Amino acid sequence: MDEVFRTNDPVKLSYVEHLLAEAGIACFVLDRHISAVEGNIGAFPRRVLVEAGDLARARLALAGVEPG
């Protein structure tokens, strides 16, 4: 799997997941539950991964979405 997006913003994360789902691309979010350990301070970004074969389509689907 390859990383296509990284953010600390839960709203942006939800939007990215929605865009990928609309494009028919399965994704996996790493570090989703780290907030329970870090106390919701936003120190650890959540990383969105897709299968290597979907990488180009995922990048196209997320074109224009600002990371962060």
Residue 63 scores a pLDDT above 80: yes
Q: What is the pLDDT of residue 28?
A: 96
68 part of a folded domain: no
In the predicted model, what is the mean pLDDT of residues 43-55? 92
Confidence of residue 65 (pLDDT cuts 50, 70, 90): confident
Helix (H) or strand (E) holding 14: helix 10-22
9 part of a folded domain: yes
66 part of a folded domain: no
Residue 52 scores a pLDDT above 90: yes
What are the angstrom distances between the C-alpha of 49 and each of 39, 41, 46? 24, 23, 10
The pTM (predicted TM-score) of the whole model is 0.85
- List the one residue out of 25, 24, 23 whose CA is nearest residue 2: 25
* Residue 41 or 28, more confident: 28
Question: Residue 21: which domain range?
Answer: 2-61
Quote the number of domains for the chain.
1
Give me 58's structure tokens. Answer: 């995922």
CATH code (residue 42): 3.30.70.790
